Structure 1
Amino acid sequence: MTVADRVALHGLRARGHHGVFAHERAEGQPFVVDLVLHLDTRAAAADDDLAQTVHYGVVAEEAVAVVEGEPVDLIETLAERIAAQCLRHSPVQQVEVTVHKPDAPITVPFDDVTITITRSRG
């Protein structure tokens, strides 16, 4: 069965020290995270019960903590860590994570660099 319900968080902002260059690790830079959590919300809606869904405020805090946490070279690794954290919430069956690196060290004009991954439970 495909889970059709989605809880989305857009534009979570945090400063991280991720990247392959020494100045990225030393100085840090802003990162922006978008999440789409796939889960079945019918029971929560029927009972009007937060305990039967995912607490998006907690998920937001956890995603920001991952960005602010242990540095990694690749935004692919950062996205993977955020996805794993989201899937620790039992109602979440699948998550789509987009990590934006708007200040990436690129020598030509650009708007944004992103990676988007989708991970599922099990």
Structure 2
Amino acid sequence: MDTIFIREFKADAWVGIYDWEKLRPQTLELEIEIGIPGDAAGKSDDIHDTVHYGMVVERFTAELAQKRFGLLEALAEHLAGIVTGEFKAPWVRISVAKLGHIRNVRKVGVTIERGRAAKG
């Protein structure tokens, strides 16, 4: 399976379980891999045969500005559902990290994988 990747995507999001985390959005860093089946887009050169990564970034940015999450796991699950549901991707891996959240730690986060990646 071919993949589209989106690296070092930064977005502000309302996420956290502590009172101080609920006062303002936090900047998160996302790493996203999206499975695209077959080689249709490479052969057709048509955006309709693939997942439009610009639309994914726009959709995620809008969603993260509006919704509130307690856990990064829930946030990642929600975003994965958008990719597999709205964008019809068969597989997605999403890493979400809080930056500088813990002293002496640059990033802390979670990675989830949903759907079925083709073996090969």
Please, what TM-score do these two structures have when normalized by structure 2?
0.88
- Structure 1: tracts of 5 or more residues without a match: none
Aligned with 2:61 (options 61, 64, 69): 64
Query: Is 1:26 the counterpart of 2:18 in the alignment?
Result: no
The counterpart of 1:98, out of the listed 95, 98, 107, is 95
Q: Distance in 2 between matches of 1:86 and 1:64?
A: 13
Q: Distance in 1 between matches of 2:110 and 2:63?
A: 16
Larger strand percent: 2
Q: Tell me the percent identity.
A: 28
**Counterpart contact for 1:30–1:103, Cα < 8 Å:** no
Number of residues of Structure 1 aligned to a counterpart in Structure 2: 115
Q: Which runs of 4+ in 1 moved over 3 A?
A: none
Q: Supply the distance in 1 between the matched residues of 2:58 and 2:82 (Cα, whole angstroms).
A: 11
Q: Among residues 108, 112, 120, which one is paired with 2:115 in the alignment?
A: 120
Q: Indicate if the aligned counterparts of 1:30 and 1:102 stay in contact, CA closer than 8 A.
A: yes
When residues 51 and 115 of structure 1 are mapped into structure 2, their CA distance, relative to the original with a 3 A threshold, is same
Q: Calculate the TM-score normalised by the size of structure 1.
A: 0.87
Per the TM alignment, residue 41 of structure 1 is displaced from its structure 2 partner at its CA by: 4.6
